[in-house]
Amino acid sequence: MSCGNCRGDKNKENLTKLYLIKPLTHLKLNKGQVEKCCCGDKINDNDSNSECYIFSCTSKTGNQPIPSTFFAGMGCSAKILEMTYAHKLPVFNPFEEESESEYEIDTSNGGSSQNIAKVKWDPLNKELYKAINILILSWNIRDLSKYSTIVKILSFLESKKEIRTYKWAVEAINTMIAKDKKKRKIKDMLKDLGYKTKNIKFPEIGDLLKAENIGNNFE
């Protein structure tokens, strides 16, 4: 199911009236990857147009059990975030060093800088967010609605960044990684993305899986 065309503010406004729209992730496209924005434009990996969001959209009529998902370039994403009063998500870019401030969200609603409320991502949530993005890039997932578990987990991470996610979420992604056709772990997928990818670790996830006596498919 398509959520419709988002070209122009009027179409975006109509979408927000018909659908509950939530940002799921914000990532930099892999080399050579091309996606289609909800407005119809191409999103590719060139320097000026290399980042995008993936949103979920659920009909407000209640007759859509599985959310649809769509890609949006940064221009459309900024407007959708503004219209839905959603906070920005940290960009996942495995090719550059990230700033810890990316994972600090300003939850204030205006006012003086003294009243700014910062919410930090839980460390486990941060690791799971990165791992899911590696899966999306490595498997070149274009339609996240086919991966309802990922959508559910990302929705939780987006809305409750500072609250540690459930064990089942980590175990579910761990099981999903095991289905990789090349039998790779997340660390191997990261290497296969090319470039000089940074060395991403998953200590919180490792400790959780070890405590549950479950094999670690992350690293």
- How does DSSP assign the chain, residue by residue? -------HHHHHHHHHHHEEEEEEEEEEPPTT--EE-TTS-EE-SSTTS-EEEEEEEEETTS--SS-EEEEEEHHHHHHHHHHHTPPP--EE-TTSPPPGGGGEEE---SS-GGGPPEEEPPHHHHHHHHHHHHHHHHTT-S-GGG-HHHHHHHHHHHH-TTSPPPHHHHHHHHHHHTT-TT---HHHHHHHT-TT------HHHHHHHHHTT---S--
Instruction: Encode pLDDT of 173-215 as tens digits.
Output: 999 999 999 999 999 998 888 756 677 899 999 999 999 999 9
Q: For the whole model, what pTM was predicted?
A: 0.89
Instruction: Encode pLDDT of 40-72 as tens digits.
Output: 998 886 655 689 999 999 988 877 667 899 999
